[in-house]
């Protein structure tokens, strides 16, 4: 009962406290807000114009309602620190971290294009088996780069995959985690979760060509007509069969499935 009473007050508090920057205003007298890009569990992102360097960028703000919670500050700071370590064309680089009276912020490169979810919705794009595998390989290659550094994204979803000229980039590292020391179950679970998410994206892409003819919901194994190689790699990514031990081995299997789809 207490939870149900408390929750509306908590939501009201967030609504009153988490005031966002309108278009045309400045963050830290330097970043001109072009538009709000979105809000997550602890951060709000803006597309901005850096008037000093005269270029567009993304500015992420730790939501005001979260600033007194050490947990969320650590997650926010960790996201910045992880991105600062990485140098990959398909991952936004972080460039600076700063604090104002409005809280904590960090700046990232702006990733052009549109997210995969919006792209499919806007264009009604239908991916053939080969095209779905090609794009999945592109995403998995970025994930393999992270895993080689023992970094696990933890939130690989179609809204977090950006497309520009058919090329995929990965954004939103708010749930990412880097491991060190001896490998254990926690790290293995994170690896398998990333691979499961890749499989989920592949399945989503394959369903873009599906036309439902049966009112009864059936499993994908019965609804989709796929090559044996594609079905096998999906089953391993989704944990139906023995999961892949690494992203690199998953990519090898995806490549073979693509060749079978030619």
3-40: b (≥16 Cβ within 10 Å) or e: eeeeeeeeeeeeeeeeeebeeeeebeebbbbeeeeeee
Q: How far apart are CA 160 and CA 99, in angstroms?
A: 26
H/E element, 259:
helix 247-261
> Is 155 an annotated catalytic residue?
yes
Catalytic residue among 18, 138, 155, 194: 155
Measured CA to CA, the distance from residue 27 to residue 51 in angstroms comes to: 11
Cβ burial 129-151 (10 Å sphere, 16+ → b, else e) = bbbbbbbbbbbbbbbbbbbeeeb
d(CA 168, CA 136): 9
Q: How many CB atoms lie within 10 A of CB 216?
A: 6
**Cα end-to-end span (Å), the chain:** 58
Q: Which residues pair with 133 in a beta bridge?
A: none
Query: Which amino acids are annotated catalytic?
Result: 155
């Amino acid at each position: 009962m207490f939870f149900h009473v408390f929750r509306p007050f908590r939501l009201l508090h967030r609504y009153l406290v988490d005031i966002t920057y309108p278009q045309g205003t400045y963050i830290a007298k330097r970043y001109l807000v072009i538009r709000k890009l979105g809000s997550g569990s602890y951060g709000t992102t803006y597309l901005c114009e850096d008037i000093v360097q005269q270029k567009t960028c993304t500015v992420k703000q730790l939501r005001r309602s979260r600033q007194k919670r050490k947990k969320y500050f650590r997650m926010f700071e960790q996201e910045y620190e992880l991105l600062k370590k990485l140098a990959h064309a398909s991952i936004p680089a972080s460039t600076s971290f700063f604090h104002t009276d409005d809280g904590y912020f960090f700046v990232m490169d702006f990733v052009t294009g549109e997210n995969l979810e919006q792209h499919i919705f806007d264009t009604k794009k239908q991916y053939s088996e080969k095209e779905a595998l090609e794009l999945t390989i592109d995403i998995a290659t970025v994930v393999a780069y992270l895993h080689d550094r023992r970094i696990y994204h933890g939130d690989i979803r179609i809204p977090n995959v950006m497309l520009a000229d058919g090329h995929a980039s990965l954004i939103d590292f708010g749930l990412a985690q880097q491991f060190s020391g001896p490998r254990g179950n926690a790290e293995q679970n994170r690896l398998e979760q990333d691979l499961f998410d890749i499989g989920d994206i592949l399945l989503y892409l394959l369903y873009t060509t599906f036309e439902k003819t049966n009112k009864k919901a059936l499993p994908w194994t019965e609804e989709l007509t796929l090559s044996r190689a594609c079905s096998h790699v999906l089953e391993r990514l989704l944990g139906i069969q023995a999961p892949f031990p690494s992203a690199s081995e998953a990519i090898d299997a995806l490549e073979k499935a693509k060749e079978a789809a030619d």
